[in-house]
Amino acid sequence: MIKIFKSLGGYIEIPQIQKGSWINVTNPTTDEISQIVNQFNVPDDVIHDILDVDERPRIEYDDDWTLLILRIPIRNPDNGVPFYTVPLGLFMTKDIYITICSTINEVLPPEQPSLFREQYHHISDELNFIFKLFLRSANVYLKYLKQINQQTAQIEKDLEKSIRNEELNRLLKMEKCLVYFITSLKSNDIVLAKLRNSKKNTLNEINEDLLEDALIENKQAIEMAQIYSDIQSGMMDAFASVISNNLNVVMKRLTSISIILMIPTLIASIYGMNVINYFEKSKLALPIILTASFIMSYLGYLIFRRKNWF
């Protein structure tokens, strides 16, 4: 999906590109990729890098263009892992600005990608846009981290009564999400530090404030993700022991029941043999044997109950 806007980070959509236009590309098809390469003069290797799901965040300068790649969070409950990250590329020239992402996302949603919801705001320069992009990305990370924490709490409740591996697998997926987030956030933090220390960038007061806000939000997201990851790692070990203990309790109870049931089976086996047992001619043989079996089984039950095996 390709949408062209009149200004960088703007809200007014136009049919054709013009100087200073911003082009937002989301989940491009093969034809749209060819259009980007041919019509907008974006190098093919740049497109390939941005659409590579494993591409790391970086900033690259060339004589005619500048490329910035950061990693943004994606929520997809239908995909094995409910949260993961993908690259978002910003390709900048003197005339146009292009943002490209291989997946629909909340940082620049296709239906309303503008970084401002109010129409009287404008983005003055590309640095302002970049810092707002990092700031929104960090806010989406924080939003998803809260959702991960809520889902983890629900899994924890399920694990307290479970002896299956299903909940542990769900918890493992949450741990994977946090690993993806931590890795991406740390990489984004390195790019922000490079932008702050770059001699090519002259920051005005507004951009300095935005940069500090982006750095603070990004570091907060890193710390939250790290804390949640440490908690989940300990929780995984604890609940693995809980599941093992629950299984041991079940096996102990089943063994106790088997022993109790073995008592009447043993008595019936003895008196079912073809040997003299002195009860062949007695009319009370069956009631006596059943009573003795019941009493001995009940005594076994009391012994196991006293030892807390039930």
pLDDT in tens, 196-213: 887 666 677 787 888 888
CA distance 73 to 148: 12
In a domain, 148, yes or no: no
Residue 16: strand, helix, or coil: coil
Q: Which of 116, 150, 169 is the last residue of a domain?
A: 116
Structure tokens at 61: 């300068």
Q: What pLDDT shows up at residue 146?
A: 92
- pLDDT the model gives residue 144: 92
CA dist 288 and 291 (Å) reads 5
User: Residue for token digits 């239906």?
Assistant: 111
Per-residue pLDDT at 254: 84
Assign residue 36 the CATH number of its domain: 3.30.460.20
Q: Domain residues for 21? A: 1-116
Residue 230 lies in a domain: no
- Picking from 116, 135, 150, the residue at the C-terminal end of a domain is 116
Token duo for residue 132: 């707002």
| Cα(7)–Cα(117) distance, integer angstroms | 14
Cβ 159 vs Cβ 171: under 8 Å = yes
**pLDDT at residue 119 in the model:** 46
| Angle (nearest 5°) at CA 240 between 236 and 242 | 120
With contact defined as beta carbons under 8 Å apart, do 293 and 263 qualify? yes
What gap in Å lies between CA 310 and CA 208, rounded to an integer? 67
Position 165 scores a pLDDT of 67
What's the longest Cα–Cα distance across the chain? 113
* Nearest residue to 26 via CA among 17, 16, 36: 36
pLDDT at 79: 66
Asked if residue 205 lies in contact with residue 183, where contact means CB atoms within 8 angstroms, the answer is: no
The answer to whether residues 272 and 280 touch, using CB atoms and an 8 Å cutoff, is: no
Burial class (CB in 10 A: 0-12, 13-18, 19+), 56: middle
pLDDT value of residue 309: 67
Distance CA 71, CA 55 (A): 8
Whole-angstrom distance, CA of residue 78 vs CA of residue 83: 10
> How confident is the model at residue 116, as a pLDDT?
55
User: Is 203 part of any domain?
Assistant: no
Answer whether residue 5 is part of any domain. Answer: yes
The single-letter DSSP state of residue 107 is: S
Number of domains in the chain: 2
Rounded Cα gap, residues 179 and 167, in angstroms: 19
Predicted structure pTM score: 0.75
d(CA 33, CA 28): 6
pLDDT score recorded for residue 142:
92
Q: Which residues contact 65 (CB under 8 A, 6 or more apart)?
A: 91, 92, 93
In a domain, 96, yes or no: yes
The verdict on residue 141 lying in a domain is no
Exposed, middle or buried: residue 155 (CB in 10 Å: 0-12, 13-18, 19+)? buried
For residue 92, what pLDDT is reported? 86
Tell me what pLDDT residue 152 has.
84
The Cα 196–Cα 189 span in angstroms is 11
Please indicate, yes or no, if residue 61 is contained in any of the structural domains. yes
Structure tokens at 287: 């009631």
User: Does 169 fall in a domain?
Assistant: no
The last residue of one of the domains, among 94, 116, 138, is 116
Residues of the chain with pLDDT under 70: 79, 112-124, 160-165, 199-202, 309-310
